Amino acid sequence: MNGMLDFYFDFSSPYAYFAAMDVDKFAERYDIAVHWHPILLGAIFKKTGAQPLLSMPLKQDYALHDLERTARLKKLPFIMPPKMPFMSLTACRAFYWLKHQDRFLAQTFAKNVFKAGYQMGLDISDNGVVTDLVVSLDFKTNEIQTGIKDQGIKDTLWTAVEDAQEAGVFGSPYFIFNNEPFWGYDKMPLLGEWITKKGW
């Protein structure tokens, strides 16, 4: 095992969708463990004054074009979720609720959230959609409904956002490997090179 990679993302980030679809194979190829950290970038943007990628003129057209081009290259389905940008509060809480029980189940859930949003075009900010995705992993509706309202889970999410910000995270996807930060899906090849060479 070459080490541990922290993978920070916001479910409302389309580039994070591509990263999430790649990261298991990436981990296998470079023999690393990956810790998934869904966060709410909106909370960090408020402090940094940044704007979501898809709210900026000119960049928006380019980004849409680049996302579709990336999907074709990776042979992955891609559609834009109905509402952009959106708050992924419920999906984040559900992730941390699941993680308390099983880290790998939470990762499966995260991948299913991305697929629901970016492959099926479902509204993954919606409580009902998120609940269905948890129920499909053999939980009961009332369990998850209670879980996402739990104060401990709410606190876990805010701690995750604060920890991310403290670690310097300001975008999505964002990777940290042995304190070395890599921002953006386009940086994954460089990250791989860094892992292989043990830095330079």
- Which residues are catalytic, by number? 13
Which range touches a copy of itself (CB under 8 A), out of 24-32, 68-76, 102-110, 152-160?
68-76
* DSSP SS3 for 11: coil
Smaller CB separation from a copy of itself, 42 or 181 = 181
65 binds a copy of itself, rule: CB under 8 A: yes
What is d(CA 124, CA 14) in angstroms, rounded to the nearest whole number? 12
Binding-site member from 57, 138, 151, 198 for a copy of itself (CB under 8 A):
57
Range 15-54, binding a copy of itself (CB under 8 A): 48-50
Strand ranges (DSSP E) for the chain?
4-9, 33-38, 174-177, 180-183
78 binds a copy of itself, rule: CB under 8 A: no
| DSSP H/E element including 20 | helix 14-30
Q: Are 94 and 130 in contact (CB under 8 A)?
A: yes
Instruction: Please name every residue paired with 167 in a beta bridge, in sequence order, or none if there are none.
Output: none
198 binds a copy of itself, rule: CB under 8 A: no
Binding-site member from 121, 152, 186, 196 for a copy of itself (CB under 8 A):
186
61 binds a copy of itself, rule: CB under 8 A: yes
What is d(CA 172, CA 7) in angstroms, rounded to the nearest whole number? 9
62 binds a copy of itself, rule: CB under 8 A: yes
What is d(CA 128, CA 91) in angstroms, rounded to the nearest whole number? 10
Q: Are 174 and 44 in contact (CB under 8 A)?
A: no
192 binds a copy of itself, rule: CB under 8 A: no
Binders of a copy of itself: how many residues, by CB under 8 A?
26
How many Å separate Cα 67 from the centre of its chain? 16
190 binds a copy of itself, rule: CB under 8 A: yes
184 binds a copy of itself, rule: CB under 8 A: yes
Q: Are 193 and 32 in contact (CB under 8 A)?
A: no
Smaller CB separation from a copy of itself, 15 or 139 = 15
Both tokens assigned to 162: 């604060």
Kindly list the residues in this chain that would bind a copy of itself in the complex (CB under 8 A): 48-50, 56-59, 61-62, 65-66, 69, 72-73, 168, 170-171, 181, 183-184, 186-187, 189-190, 193, 200
